[in-house]
Amino acid sequence: MATRTATVRFTANFEHNLAQIGTYWAERDAPQVYVRLLDELGSVIIGNLERHPRIGRRFFARTPQSVEARERVAGLMKRFGAADVREYLSGDYLLLYVVVAANAADRTPEVVHLLSIKHHRQLSFDFEGFWQAHHGDAA
């Protein structure tokens, strides 16, 4: 078994995303789906990131295909600079995280900050509401 080389921390945004996911599944009378996600997070994902903090693909390595995506990624690159932002795919969920390098001088381990978690179809969960909120009533 590989030893732990990083500490995993949740950001406020990550916790907010989890709460939104929990609400979504509760509203659909499927709280067990949310419980499975939390189990996976606690039993697999965090352990993987503690042992292999760079397991995910580099987020900024892919070239966005749309103008909107390029603009958003450029904004993120400005915000995070040279930070090691990565994405981790687990089942139906995509997690974004940043790895902060270890400090050899004071022997601090690497720190993984979980930034965001989204279901791969999250925008389509309430497509009508999303569309109306961003484009007005098309009818």
Four-CA torsion 58, 62, 64, 70, nearest 10 degrees = 60
Task: Please report where in the chains the tokens 């270890």 appear, as a residue.
Answer: 102
15 φ, ψ (degrees, to nearest 5): -65, -40
pLDDT at 82: 77
Per-residue pLDDT of the chain (139 residues; tens, 9 = 90+): 568 889 999 999 999 999 999 999 999 999 999 999 999 999 999 999 999 999 999 988 888 888 988 888 888 888 887 789 999 999 999 999 999 987 767 666 899 999 999 987 665 445 455 556 655 554 4
Q: How far is CA 46 from CA 18, 20, 81, 93, 111, in A?
A: 14, 20, 25, 14, 12
| Strand 57-58 relative to strand 93-100, pairing | unpaired
Cα separation, 38 vs 14, in Å, equals: 13
Q: Where are the domains of the chain?
A: 6-135
Measured distance between the N- and C-terminal CA atoms of the chain, rounded to whole angstroms: 58
Q: 6-135 is classed in which CATH architecture?
A: 2-Layer Sandwich (3.30)
Sign of CA pseudo-dihedral 58, 59, 62, 63: negative
Sign, CA torsion 1/39/16/118: positive
